[in-house]
């Protein structure tokens, strides 16, 4: 009896230690160590939106390294060209293997044109990474309805629309993988970013429904939910006023993960066909587990902790 107790305590202690050092949910961590490596994706055609900076740029580097052919999209042609050059040096890709396709993702009418251009260039799309998006820094009370609408268009309707353009082609081939960069903000309600939470929760709901509907067609879905990551996201964030940009740069705070590590874990999730992954350092990772499994208790603790502390935690401090 004592031996069993000691064994259980040992396993629990080991798990706690593993969790303490984790920067992703436990399934993701398991697959990182024991699952497929990213090179299983070699030779696939991957289309990454929001590839001009931050997480998207590093997803492009990761995929280039393992030999994926790439389509890079965002608005900034100059930045995309820089990313393309880097992709050509970090892997064994040739100039024809990386297509720069700049467009505004909010221009929904252009999505079918862009999809045709990708198919014309490569003949197939194996992976679509819906990553482009913008955050928000504003109180609900100060946020114009026009901003809510603009954010829903950009963060939710745009990835849905692009996915709908790509799906018929994937269904016809009976293969494909759709990934979307959602956020931990879809799992935890983050103050000062209510519309952002709304757009990402909607992304989770829609893409998980799609996952179920697409299973007979052999199409995989990955919903990635990163916590605080060091990128340009805050400076490009919406405020409460239409047309305004927040403009404040992030600090490299201790609990904010690098964009390259986040991209590495996202590519691991894609390589292993994981349905939903949480990518974050503690304490946000721990809070996400608590919110998922003990929502009422965690909300109570939030109230006790106070708004100021919650605000600093969400910034990775």
H-state helical runs in 126-193: 145-151, 158-173
24 contributes a contact to ligand NAP by CB under 6 A = no
Residues 91-95: contacts with CB within 8 Å, 24+ apart?
A: 91/64, 91/65, 91/66, 91/67, 92/67, 93/64, 93/67, 93/69
Stretch that binds ligand NAP, among 16-24, 64-72, 133-141, 142-150 (CB under 6 A): 133-141
Coil vs helix vs strand at 254: coil
Task: Provide the β-strand partners of residue 46.
Answer: 70, 127
Of residues 176-235, those binding ligand NAP (CB under 6 A): 181, 183, 226, 228-229, 231-233
Taking the least distance from each CB to ligand NAP, the nearer of 259 and 274 is 259
Taking the least distance from each CB to ligand NAP, the nearer of 199 and 272 is 199
53 contributes a contact to ligand NAP by CB under 6 A = yes
The single residue among 26, 152, 236, 286 that binds ligand NAP, judged by CB under 6 A, is 236
Tell me the C-alpha distance between 72 and 47, whole Å: 6
DSSP secondary structure string, 36-103? --GGGGTT-EEEEESTTSHHHHHHHHHHHHTT-EEEEESS-HHHHHHHHHHHHHHSS--GGGEEE---
261 contributes a contact to ligand NAP by CB under 6 A = no
91 contributes a contact to ligand NAP by CB under 6 A = no
Of residues 147-176, those binding ligand NAP (CB under 6 A): 154
Taking the least distance from each CB to ligand NAP, the nearer of 208 and 300 is 208
314 contributes a contact to ligand NAP by CB under 6 A = no
Taking the least distance from each CB to ligand NAP, the nearer of 230 and 302 is 230
Nearest Cα neighbor of 125 from 74, 70, 80, 72 is 70
Query: Is 196 tagged catalytic?
Result: yes
Which residues here bind ligand NAP, judged by CB under 6 A? 50-56, 74-76, 79, 104-106, 131-135, 154, 181, 183, 226, 228-229, 231-233, 236, 259
């Amino acid at each position: 009896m004592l031996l069993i107790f000691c064994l259980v305590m040992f396993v629990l202690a080991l798990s706690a230690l593993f969790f303490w050092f984790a920067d992703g949910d436990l399934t993701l961590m398991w697959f990182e160590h024991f699952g497929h490596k990213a090179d299983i994706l070699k030779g696939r055609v991957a289309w990454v939106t929001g590839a001009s900076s931050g997480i998207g740029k590093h997803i492009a580097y990761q995929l280039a390294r393992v030999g994926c052919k790439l389509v890079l999209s965002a608005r900034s042609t100059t930045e995309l060209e820089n990313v393309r050059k880097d992709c050509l040096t970090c892997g064994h890709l040739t100039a024809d293997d990386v297509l720069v396709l700049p467009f505004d993702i909010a221009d929904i009418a252009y999505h079918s044109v862009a999809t045709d251009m990708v198919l014309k260039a490569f003949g197939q799309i194996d992976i679509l990474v819906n990553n482009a998006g913008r955050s928000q820094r504003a109180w609900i009370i100060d946020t114009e309805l026009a901003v809510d609408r603009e954010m829903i268009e950009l963060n939710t309707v745009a990835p849905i629309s692009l996915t709908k353009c790509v799906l018929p082609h994937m269904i016809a081939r009976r293969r494909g993988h759709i990934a979307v960069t959602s956020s931990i903000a879809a799992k935890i309600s983050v103050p000062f970013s209510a519309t952002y939470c709304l757009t990402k929760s909607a992304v989770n709901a829609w893409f998980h429904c799609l996952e179920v509907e697409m299973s007979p067609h052999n199409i995989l879905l990955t919903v990635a939910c990163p916590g605080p990551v060091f990128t340009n996201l805050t400076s490009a964030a919406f405020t409460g006023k239409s047309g305004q940009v927040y403009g404040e740069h992030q600090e490299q705070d201790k609990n904010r993960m690098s964009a390259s590590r986040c991209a590495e874990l996202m590519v691991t999730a894609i390589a292993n066909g994981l349905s939903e992954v949480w990518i974050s350092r503690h304490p946000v990772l721990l809070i996400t587990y608590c919110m998922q499994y003990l929502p009422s208790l965690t909300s109570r603790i939030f109230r006790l902790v106070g708004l100021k502390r919650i605000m600093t935690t969400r910034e990775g401090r």
